[in-house]
């Protein structure tokens, strides 16, 4: 599925519509038990050619212009394997995926939407918009990916968000925040940008490993596994991506759980040996243990 972000506004006080096609992203959405979740979203799409992107942009602008649309919006298309595209719908709002468009074109769509609402001129022209680099977005959800993506309400006990160059988080949660049962389970959006698609995937892998939330289940581990699926890495995916690879993803999830148990057992055994050594030293030597030595031993356990 392809999406094109558009912004229509009045240029100053003159009733002339300014039209901007702001790139195109690819979204593969799966439907499970009448509900949907979204895979990592990528822009620019590895499947969409420059010629197809141009045609989709022109169609999106024409659709918005036909209804005299004003403001920021999103035109969605279905794209088949032959690169034919078909109008699906228009969302008269910013799409959840708008951050990846912002990252590759360098435009704050929320700010521009407010400017349009205030009848102010936009800060750019169509020729100013150049796509640079690649961006991925992952929706971080309070879901149990091992239990058919059931919602996982609860209280966030610990929260460690990743950061760094090319990393962005749009979120609202904090430690001790309670995720209720009444709303959509999405608790944040993790966005990365890099100069190439390969670097963007590698960066997303890293930050997903750094993202830690305890107190409830999330889909972070599941998204991390998707980053390692060869078809995703090579750009060979569509709306059947999850059904096609669900067995592999479940197998990896099981291996990860076993790996975690092994690490915990190794750490417990090392802690046991350290206690034996400390007790032995205490019985033969009443001198206190060096703080430097104690710190080094603890860091060694953390590295394992």
Give the catalytic positions in this structure. 93
Task: Please count the other Cβ atoms lying within 10 Å of the Cβ belonging to residue 178.
Answer: 12
Residue 165, CB-side half-sphere exposure with 13 Å CA sphere: 3
- CA dihedral 195→198→202→205, nearest 10 degrees, is 110
- The answer for 176, left when phi > 0, alpha when psi is -120 to 50, beta otherwise, is left
Residue 19 CA: distances (Å) to CA of 25, 126, 164, 204: 18, 7, 34, 32
Strands 71-79 and 150-151: unpaired
Q: Which two tokens stand for residue 215?
A: 């107190």
Residue for token digits 């750094």?
210
CA nearest 4: which of 105, 132, 111, 133? 105
59-96: b (≥16 Cβ within 10 Å) or e: bbbebbeeeebbbbbbbbbebeeeeebeeeebeeebbb
For 97, the 3-state DSSP assignment is coil
Beta-carbon contacts of 303 under 8 Å, excluding residues fewer than 6 positions away, are none
Question: Which tokens sit at 107?
Answer: 């435009």
């Amino acid at each position: 599925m392809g999406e094109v972000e558009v912004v229509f506004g009045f240029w100053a006080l003159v009733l002339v519509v300014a039209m901007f096609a702001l790139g195109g992203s690819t979204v593969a959405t799966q439907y499970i038990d009448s509900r949907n979740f979204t895979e990592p979203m990528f822009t620019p799409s590895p499947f969409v050619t420059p010629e197809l992107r141009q045609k989709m942009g022109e169609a999106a602008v024409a659709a918005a212009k036909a209804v005299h649309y004003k403001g920021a919006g999103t035109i969605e298309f279905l794209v088949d394997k032959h690169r034919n595209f078909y109008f699906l719908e228009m969302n008269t709002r910013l799409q959840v995926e708008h951050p990846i468009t912002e990252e590759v074109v360098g435009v704050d769509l929320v700010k521009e939407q407010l400017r349009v609402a205030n009848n102010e001129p936009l800060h750019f022209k169509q020729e100013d918009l150049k796509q640079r680099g690649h961006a991925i977005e992952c929706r971080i959800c309070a879901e149990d990916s091992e239990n058919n993506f059931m919602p996982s309400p609860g209280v966030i006990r610990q929260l460690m968000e990743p950061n760094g160059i090319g990393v962005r988080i749009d979120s609202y949660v904090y430690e001790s925040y309670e995720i209720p049962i009444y709303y959509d389970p999405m608790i944040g959006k993790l966005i990365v940008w890099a100069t190439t698609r390969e670097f963007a995937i590698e960066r997303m892998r890293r930050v997903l490993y750094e993202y830690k939330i305890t107190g409830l289940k999330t889909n972070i581990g599941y998204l991390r596994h998707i980053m390692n699926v060869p078809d995703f890495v090579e750009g060979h995916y569509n709306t059947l991506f999850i059904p096609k690879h669900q067995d592999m993803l479940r197998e990896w999830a099981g291996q990860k759980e076993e790996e975690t148990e092994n690490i915990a057992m190794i750490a417990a055994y090392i802690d046991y040996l350290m206690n034996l050594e400390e007790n032995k030293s205490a019985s033969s030597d009443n001198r206190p243990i060096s703080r430097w030595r104690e710190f080094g031993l603890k860091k060694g356990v953390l590295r394992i």
